Amino acid sequence: VTTFLKKITRFLGDNEWIDASNSNLWSRDWLDKFGEIPIGVAIPSSTNQVSNILKLCYNYEVSVIPQGGNTSLVGGSVSNKKGGLILSMSRMNDISSPDLIGRSVEVGSGVILENLHKELKKSNMILPMHLGSQGSAQIGGLISTNAGGTHAFKYGMMQDLVLGMEVVLPGGQVWNGMRSVQKDNTGYQLRKIFCGAEGSLGVITKAILKLTPAPKKQITALVSFNDINSLIKVASNIRSEIDEFITAIEFFSDSGLKMIEKHISGFSIPIRNRASFYLLLEASTSTEKISLESIFSFALEKAMKGEDHVDAIVALTNKQRAQLWRLREDQPEGQRLSGAQLKHDISVPPAHIQSFLETANKNCQRILKGVRINAFGHIGDGNIHYNISPPTGKKDFLNTDKDFELMIAKLAAELGGSFAAEHGIGTSKVDLAETLRDYQERDIMRSIKRSFDQKALLNPGVVVHEKD
């Protein structure tokens, strides 16, 4: 260890190496649930440095945990054993000027998503990736967890937005895949393999991302329902009417709204007639010549016809739009402030959402009577954050946490969906994957891991179990 520390501090400057004793900011995850004390934190500022760090760690068999914004919800960005090296990518944060004809931008993997959003405003382009943690989440982490978010049903996940990348492999070799074309069929799609690999196959240092023109007009609407089935139908109907304009289809419930009202001050709810569920719709156009208001209003009315809704409001100004979005975006924070909770990130084919919710709700009451359910998320792609708070008056779940997790995960899988929709499996869901996915699938993953990382040094414990 002493020799290793001597060597690594030789090529990392004073502010590029953080001692174990000062590593708390990096070593614990933001739920403060995961993370052992590392050997130290390296904060390199060049690919060459990353390569040298990985070479040294390879020789000394020190495990490496690549870290972006450290916003993982599944223990994917901190060490699950003492003595690993945390590799913070935050200094690799260059943003090139975008290629406006090819519609792409080259970024360092340490660029924070929100900073990229701001930078792109200058050129009227967007990276259509929006999620709660965008103020902290970094591009490398977003790629490594194959992030989804609110606009994925329309624009895809990170794997659909990555054209090229540069990756440092476990032994320190650098793979240069910085090509900025969509069509590149020169063998296996390496650029896709690193998407969702949770930093276990290589360390992403740079990426070329696909851009979209910024919308010229946007409209947001909120519709309240007592019947979730009507909500799902209206969401499907409006897509059939004006598919190319719909850019977000979100839902949340009144129980979530009540938590926000109770715990977050200065909150106003603009809809008059509240109901059990809310559908948040967004339409966008890149064309000035279109009357988005009239097209959207007409389509919404048609979509709601015969469906049992309670109230509907349409926001035209940016201020009104932001107000509606806040109702959806503050759901996680409202629940966090309400005390203990269990988070579940599942997806089912959209046609099975109702069936999932009905069965899950019933089963939840069987596991622990009085438990309070707060489901919200992305109707468009069937991705539901099915969160649970303890029964009124209780502080926790009386040791039933694992029962909820398995019941919900199993149900999603049985309906043809996933128990790790957009957050990944990290270290916390590997056992679940071993239980619910067939042996073939897990075995292929183990052999992929081995073929990239023979010594099992890169983010050990995520995706597959490390060697004994």
Residues in region 217-276 near a second copy by CB under 8 A:
232, 236, 239-245
Q: Does 175 bind a second copy (CB under 8 A)?
A: yes
Q: Judged by CB, which is closer to a second copy: 15, or 440?
A: 440
What distance in Å separates the CA atoms of residue 310 and residue 222, rounded to the nearest whole number? 11
Range in contact with a second copy (rule: CB under 8 A) among 24-32, 271-279, 341-349, 399-407: 341-349
Q: Which of 197, 204, 360, 456 binds a second copy (CB under 8 A)?
A: 197
Q: Is the dihedral of CA 88, 91, 92, 96 positive or negative?
A: positive
Token pair of 29 as six digits: 């995850």
Q: How far apart are CA 378 and CA 261, in angstroms?
A: 22
CB 147 within 8 A of CB 374: no
Our finding on whether 373 is near a second copy (CB under 8 A) is no
Instruction: Read off the DSSP letter of residue 122.
Output: T
Which of 173, 273, 361, 365 binds a second copy (CB under 8 A)? It is: 173
Task: Pick between residue 263 and residue 437 the one whose CB is nearest to a second copy.
Answer: 437
* Shortest Å distance, C-beta 214 to a second copy: 10
Which residue, 372 or 429, has its beta carbon nearer to a second copy? Answer: 429
Closest to 382 in 3D by CA, of 340, 411, 425: 411
Q: Least separation, in Å, of the C-beta of 461 and a second copy?
A: 13
- 459 vs 23, 181, 194, 199, CA distance in Å? 17, 30, 13, 6
- Structure tokens of 314? 């349409």
Enumerate residues 34-73 that contact a second copy by CB under 8 A: none
Examine residue 152 and tell whether it contacts a second copy (CB under 8 A).
yes
* Residues 6+ away with beta carbon under 8 Å from 91: 16, 43, 44, 45, 110
- The stretch among 15-23, 53-61, 184-192, 390-398 that binds a second copy (CB under 8 A) is 184-192
Is residue 286 part of the contact set for a second copy (CB under 8 A)? yes
18 or 221: whose CB is closer to a second copy? 221
Binding mask 418-457 toward a second copy (x if CB under 8 A, else -) reads xxxxxxxx---x---x---xx-xxx-xx-xxxxxx-----
Return the ∠ at Cα 39 (arms to 430 and 86), rounded to 5°.
55
Instruction: Give CA–CA dist 435/103, Å, rounded.
Output: 42
Per rule CB under 8 A, is residue 148 in the interface with a second copy? yes
* Least Å from the CB of residue 421 to a second copy: 4
Site track for a second copy across 92-111, x = CB under 8 A = -------xxxxxx-------
Binding mask 108-147 for a second copy (x = CB under 8 A): -------------------------------------xx-
Asked whether the beta carbons of 199 and 168 are under 8 A apart, the reply is no
Angle at 143 between CA 77 and CA 82, to 5 degrees: 15
Indicate which single residue of 10, 15, 122, 187 sits in contact with a second copy (rule: CB under 8 A): 187
* C-beta of 23 vs 104, nearer to a second copy: 104
Residues 378-397 that bind a second copy (CB under 8 A): 378, 381-383
Q: How far apart are CA 401 and CA 395, in angstroms?
A: 13
Minimum distance from residue 17 beta carbon to a second copy (Å): 27
Q: How far is the CB of 201 from a second copy (least distance, A)?
A: 8
Q: In this structure, are residues 253 and 277 in contact, taking their beta carbons and an 8 Å threshold?
A: yes
User: What is the spatial distance between Cα 442 and Cα 142, in angstroms, rounded to a whole number?
Assistant: 23
- # residues near a second copy by CB under 8 A: 96
Q: Nearest distance from residue 45's CB to a second copy, in Å?
A: 22
User: To which residue do tokens 């001692």 refer?
Assistant: 19
How far is CA 226 from each of CA 231, 269, 297, 354, rounded to the nearest angstrom?
8, 17, 21, 13
Pick out residues in 287-326 that bind a second copy (CB under 8 A).
Answer: 287, 289-290, 295, 298-299
Rounded to whole angstroms, how far apart are CA atoms 380 and 182? 25
The CA distance from 467 to 461, in Å, is 9
Work out whether 178 is an interface residue with a second copy (CB under 8 A): yes
